[in-house]
Amino acid sequence: MAPRRRKRRPWYRTRAYRLTRTALLVTVLVTVGSRCGGGHAGTGRPGDPDAVAAAGGPGGSGERSCEPPAGPPPGPLPRSRPTSFRVPSLGIDAPITAIGLDRERQLEAPPVDEPKLVGWYEGGPTPGESGTAIAVGHRDTRTGPAVFAALAQVKPCRLIEVRRADGRTAVYAVDRMKVYDKAGFPDKEVYAQTGRPELRVLTCGGFYTRRSGYTSNAVVFAHLIATK
């Protein structure tokens, strides 16, 4: 009696298909969305006395150490307003505008009709000053991708360069990137005032709905490694 031929599995039950589907779902969970109407929607205020201690030390838990440049660490710079924001690894090179807090004491965002602008919180440190500086930008708007469309893809140890009005540039190294649900945004961890010059860069993340906007915020943690 001839052996029975094994029936071929349907394509949608193969292991390769399941692995591909899982990878696509993970990507969608991180990048799905179509518009960003604003920045951070937390309740804390950057620089408040209540936001003075980050969990897990500078940069928070999970920070990756980068090789420091040769020589002593750079000292903090005096105050000087920021003028441009660069992330060379992502091709970001954008002008900066000053932002403040709205009536609900939440960070404002740059104007929606200028999606390529980066907002710098003027109530906090300027580039290279001691403490935690805050930058905010749109992920996208009704017209398409905005300045921080690719921010969540930045890798640890990549550089962020912020030029100042006095002609100097503060160079930060990325420690980590985290996505936080807006409903439980950790103000103290993100806005903690540290003993060294640090930077937080915020944009939208997670899912988008017309009713409530994005569900999360992507936050990049970085610290000053050089000035030029």
At 210 the pLDDT is 72
| Residue 6 to residues 13, 14, 89, 217, Cα–Cα distance (Å) | 15, 15, 51, 50
Residue 23 dihedral angles phi and psi, to the nearest 5°: -60, -40
Nearest to 174 by CA among 161, 191, 157: 157
**Per-residue pLDDT tens digits for 44-97:** 455 443 333 333 333 333 445 566 666 677 889 999 999 999 999 999 999 999
At 106 the pLDDT is 83
Q: Which of 40-54, 145-159, 197-211 has the lowest average pLDDT?
A: 40-54
**Per-residue pLDDT tens digits for 153-166:** 999 999 999 999 99
At 181 the pLDDT is 86
At 221 the pLDDT is 95
Number of Cβ within 10 Å of residue 129's Cβ equals 18
225 vs 217: which has the higher pLDDT:
225
Mean per-residue pLDDT, 193-201 = 91
At 169 the pLDDT is 98
In the chain the domains, ranked by start, together with CATH numbers, are 36-227 (2.40.260.10)
Q: What value does the mean pLDDT of the chain take?
A: 76
Q: Which of 17-21, 133-137, 143-147 has the lowest average pLDDT?
A: 17-21
Give the helix/strand (H/E) hosting 17.
Answer: helix 15-31
190 vs 51: which has the higher pLDDT:
190
At 10 the pLDDT is 56
Q: What is the pTM of this model?
A: 0.72
At 132 the pLDDT is 95
